[in-house]
Amino acid sequence: MDKQTETVNDIQTLLKFTFGLIAIIAGADKFTNLLTDWNHYLSPTIASFLPVSVSVFMKIVGIIEIVAGIVVFVRPKMGGYIVCTWLVLISLNLVLHGDLLDVAVRDMAMAIGAFSLARLSIISNTTFSK
């Protein structure tokens, strides 16, 4: 394995662990609220349209995040795109919320990282897997 291949594989592995673990941990925490009270992060505008309570909705969000994290480990290209899309949606929710714009910006930066994982996985699978 040449140095370039090794470097790409190392970066892809780092991004897989970062976005896989963060999604799984954040998803699991929707059931415990140890890191934060996640209910406060949902825009009241969106909450008003929900057919379920905010607490139930956040548990559904947690399941989606856990599944997305697992997909990142198994299929990093697909998982990267899923996590990227999910983080953009979270950012839009936070912009609607109005009080959490700093978190919205952070999540957009994370979305770019997840997108980078997906794109890097294309390169890794086509160029370096031969």
Residue extents of the structural domains in the chain:
3-122
Q: pTM here?
A: 0.90
Least Cα distance to 71 among 23, 8, 125 occurs for 23
What is d(CA 114, CA 108) in angstroms, rounded to the nearest whole number? 10
Could you report the per-residue pLDDT of 50-96, keeping only the tens digit for each?
999 999 999 999 999 999 999 999 999 999 999 999 999 999 999 99
